[in-house]
A and B are shown apart, each in its own frame.
Chain A
Amino acid sequence: MSVPRPESSGGEDETFTIDVPRWRAGAGAVGFLLFVGYLLEAMRLDPGSLSDPGPGLFPIVIGTGGIVSTGFVVVEALRASRATATLPKGRRAKDVIFLLIGLFAAVLLLPILGMYIVGPVYTAATAWGLAPRHRWRGAIIGAAVVLGVCFVFTEVLQVRLPTPIW
């Protein structure tokens, strides 16, 4: 069950609606292809027999069930009454895309630069990009908090973090 979102004020010009059943049918179609691939891969394993099951038997059951479920998804979506969801546009969309791009970059750089560099830099950059005002203050506070978090995890909780390549 999803938690209800607070009402956005003046949100109509910051979102556009999508036809959920149609997109759900599309997701079902993609899922169908993925499960077909899953089933084909399962068939390369030895299924054994029902009395002496092999490694492939249960994945074949899952793959078949997955294909059937995606069939239901597509059929039900095509017959469903209209339902909408919103996607952000404008400033909101830029924030989401900014966060995702930053996250991708952080994850790619993490094994190279380590958490003690990537963590604060990522936090500072994201806070700077998302803040409506006082950007530098947000960036510095965020970076400081993350440095503290890294310290607590490594020194107090003895949890290993990604380290740089040098």
Chain B
Amino acid sequence: MNPLEGFLYGLGLSLSPEILIAALAAGLAGTLIGVLPGLGPVAGASLLLPITFAYEPSIGIILIMGVYMGAQYGGSTTSILLGIPGEASAIPATFDGYPMAKRGRAGAALVIVAIGAFVASTLALLAVTVSAPVVSQFATKFTSVEFFALTAGGLFLLARISGAQVGAGIGASLFPMFVGLGLAMVGTDPTQGEFRYTFGQIDLSLGFDLASVAVGLYGVSELLMMLEERVSKNVVQPVKVRELAPSKTELRQAAFPWLRGSALGFFMGLLPIPSATMSAFTAYRIEQGMSKTPEKFGKGAVPGLAGPEAANASAAVGSMVPVLMLGLPFSATLAIAIAALIVQGIQPGPLLVTQQPELFWTVIASLFIVNIVLFILNVPLVSIWVRVLRTPRHILIPVIIVFAMIGSFSVNNNMLDVYVMLAMGIVGYIFRKLGFGLAALLVGLVIGPLIEKYFLQSMLVSHGDLTYLVSSPVAAIIWIAVLGSIVWTAISGFRKRRKRATDEMPVVIGKMSEEE
């Protein structure tokens, strides 16, 4: 089946009432989650995860991805209307989107974001449609060596890049990663079925549930952080329906940034990095660098809004390629998407296209539908999102926490998951305060069992020869990148310390002269 045939096949399967309703519900839920403070796509997707168990796998994936894509829209909406980003990837939208809104161009800014996200997602989905079968064929040649390198090396790079507060050092990136891997070992071992770290508790034999950990780590901790602050005095910028249309000049200024952002975001989505956030920032810098009027950036420059938002949307779709083709999530939300598949007995990977084409192509086609739904509905519903933003947080916070308790309990109908949610909420709060990263912990929890599986397979095949782990070119390249990351950290740390010592020297010399 060639990509066009596959897409049309998937589209035919997607035009069923259940899938259309799922796409609509997920898009709206995702936008609401992106607009609301305190949830975010990770916690929101994990709350939906138990609901996906009752439906077929394609609907489960559509729900999770719809929330992810919708949350990008929602996060940008608060960036533009309130100057407060709903997500990290929506931070660049505050630089120029909020100034546009203050100038009375909020409607135009929202439409530029909506069109850009639609164009970018569509182009990225076309790229996925064309590239996924090629990647799949390439990846069927991978053995446990390559998969071990991709999982373990990819996790390490993710921890280093997205891990910790800037300047916190390599330990602050790796510590949460090892915590996640350690939690992943709780349960039943894959070799002999022995219980590990269950301490006699039968409930722990299934391990820690991802949804509870994600909701606690991201959702509950974010609510605690939010409660610390005073109520924001930022005024929600009004949006008049008649001012929704961007001018011809604004559309012309946005066109090429949309295209550049789409290309950049898709390629960054293929990498083991927090692609949505990094592509948005990178696109902003590129647009500023390429602009003939860079001084206008930060004051309502249309390219400064259009490029990053397109990159953001495109990266979200591009990151589906490693998820579906290799079974590797390089972000916390995609880790939940993987969990939604695995629970249904589906192992994402290179054989997904050939062994379950109906699932694969239905997901791709449905993402197109989600994209269209988001584009059509989001801008007209802006007034609803504005009302949601005005919900007092003393009502919002406990309601979200009840959602979190329901979501955590309903995974296994077990109170243990609710206790885990609470504990991880406190851990997440402490980690945030101390500058430790959360994404590596969550991704470590999800792909820890995969890393172990590929490691054990490699050891069985090679009769215990550790050099087997670097015996393939792909694996060697990945481990060289990992080594390079460690060396770079050491060099940049050494340079910073030398610079600090050099900056302090004139003071010391001056003091010595005075003493003499």
- Taking CB atoms, residues of chain A closer than 8 Å to B228 are 15, 86-88, 92, 95-96
B175 touches A49 (CB 8 A): no
Task: Report if B455 contacts A (CB, 8 A).
Answer: yes
With contacts A72-B170, A76-B168 known, is A59 near B185, CB below 8 A? yes
CB neighbours of B392 from chain A (8 A):
131, 138
Q: Is B507 an interface residue (CB 8 A)?
A: no
The reply to whether A50 and B459 contact each other, CB–CB distance below 8 Å, is yes
- Once bound together, how far apart are the Cα atoms of A107 and B191, in whole Å? 36
Question: Is B395 close to A, CB under 8 A?
Answer: yes
Contact B229 A66 (CB under 8 A): no
Judged by a CB distance under 8 angstroms, whether A165 is at the interface is: no
| Chain A nearest Cβ from B482, distance in angstroms | 13
Give which listed residue, A2, A5, A54, contacts B191 with CB less than 8 A. Answer: A54
Complexed CA–CA distance, A111 and B185 (Å):
28
Q: What chain A residues lie within 8 Å of B390 (beta carbons)?
A: none
- In the complex, which of the residues A6, A14, A107, A159 contacts B405, with contact meaning CB atoms closer than 8 Å? A107
* Contact yes or no, A62 B430, CB < 8 A: no
0 or 1 for each of B426-464: is its CB under 8 Å from A? (1 = yes): 100010111110000000000010001001100110111
Contact of A158 with B435 at beta-carbon distance under 8 Å, contacts A11-B230, A14-B230, A145-B399 already known: no
B162 on the interface (CB 8 Å rule)?
Answer: yes
Contact B170 A76 (CB under 8 A): yes
The reply to whether A83 and B435 contact each other, CB–CB distance below 8 Å, is yes
A5 with B225, Cβ < 8 A, contacts A23-B434, A50-B464, A53-B459 known:
yes
Contact partner of A83 among B167, B230, B398, B464, CB < 8 A? B167
B-chain residues with CB within 8 Å of residue A72 when the two chains form the complex = 169-171, 174-175
Q: Compute how far the CA of A88 lies from the CA of B430 in the bound complex, rounded to whole angstroms.
A: 13
Give complex CA distance A140, B419 in Å.
27
A146→B455 CA distance, assembly (Å): 46
Total contacting residues, chain A, CB less than 8 A: 94
Whole-angstrom distance from the CB of B318 to the nearest CB of chain A? 18
Contact of B178 among A10, A27, A62, A86 (CB under 8 A): A62
**Structural contact, A3 and B91, CB atoms closer than 8 A:** yes
- Contact A66/B227 with A87-B433, A107-B418 known, Cβ cut-off 8 Å: no
Given contacts A3-B87, A8-B229, A110-B418, contact A58 B185 (CB under 8 A): yes
Q: Which residues of B contact A164 (CB under 8 A)?
A: none
Whether A55 pairs with B422 at a CB distance below 8 angstroms is no
Compute how far the CA of A156 lies from the CA of B165 in the bound complex, rounded to whole angstroms. 43
Q: Is there contact, CB below 8 Å, between A81 and B395?
A: no
A73 engages B172 (CB within 8 Å)? yes
A6→B197 CA distance, assembly (Å): 41
Kindly supply a per-residue 1/0 record for chain B positions 158-191, scoring 1 wherever the CB is within 8 Å of any chain A CB and 0 otherwise: 0000100101111110110111011001000101
Most chain A CB within 10 A, of B229, B393, B398, is at B398
B68 contacts which chain A residues (CB < 8 A)? none
Q: Are A49 and B464 in contact (CB under 8 A)?
A: yes
Point out the residue from B196, B395, B401, B430 that lies within 8 Å of A27, measured CB to CB. Answer: B430
The segment from B290-298, B322-330, B409-417 that touches chain A is B409-417
Residue B514 lies at the interface, judged by CB distance under 8 Å to chain A = no
- On chain B, the residues within 8 Å of A31 by CB distance are 175, 179
Q: Which of B218-245 contact A (CB under 8 A)?
A: 220, 223-225, 227-230, 232-234
Q: By the criterion CB–CB under 8 Å, are B169 and A4 in contact?
A: no
Chain B residues with CB below 8 A from A66, complex form: 175, 178-179, 181-182
Q: How far is the CB of A105 from chain B (nearest CB, A)?
A: 11
Q: Name the contact of A20 in the complex, choosing from B175, B399, B435 (C-beta under 8 A).
A: B435
What's the least CB distance linking A136 to chain B, in Å? 12
Query: Which residue of B395, B419, B455 is within 8 Å of A138 (Cβ)?
Result: B395
C-alpha spacing A41/B399, complex, angstroms: 40
Asked whether, in the complex, the Cβ of A76 is within 8 Å of the Cβ of B460, the reply is: no
Nearest chain B CB to A47's CB is how many angstroms away?
11
Distance in Å from the Cβ of A90 to the closest Cβ of chain B? 11
Binding site for B on A (CB under 8 A): 1-6, 8-11, 14-15, 18, 20, 23-24, 27-28, 31, 35, 38, 41-42, 45-46, 48-59, 62-63, 65-66, 69-77, 79-81, 83, 85-88, 92, 95-96, 99-100, 102-104, 106-107, 110-111, 115, 119, 122-123, 126-127, 129-132, 138, 141-142, 145-146, 149-150, 153, 157-162
Q: Please give 7 more A-B residue pairs, beta carbons under 8 A apart, in addition to A65-B181, A73-B169.
A: A6-B84, A49-B464, A72-B171, A80-B169, A81-B500, A149-B402, A149-B406
14 contacts between A and B (CB under 8 A): A20-B435, A28-B171, A54-B192, A73-B175, A96-B228, A99-B398, A126-B398, A126-B401, A127-B395, A142-B398, A149-B402, A159-B50, A161-B406, A161-B410
- B positions within 8 Å CB-CB of A: 50-51, 54, 83-88, 91, 162, 165, 167-172, 174-175, 177-179, 181-182, 185, 189, 191-192, 194, 196-197, 220, 223-225, 227-230, 232-234, 274, 277, 392-395, 397-399, 401-403, 405-406, 409-410, 413, 415, 418-419, 422, 425-426, 430, 432-436, 448, 452, 455-456, 459-460, 462-466, 497, 500
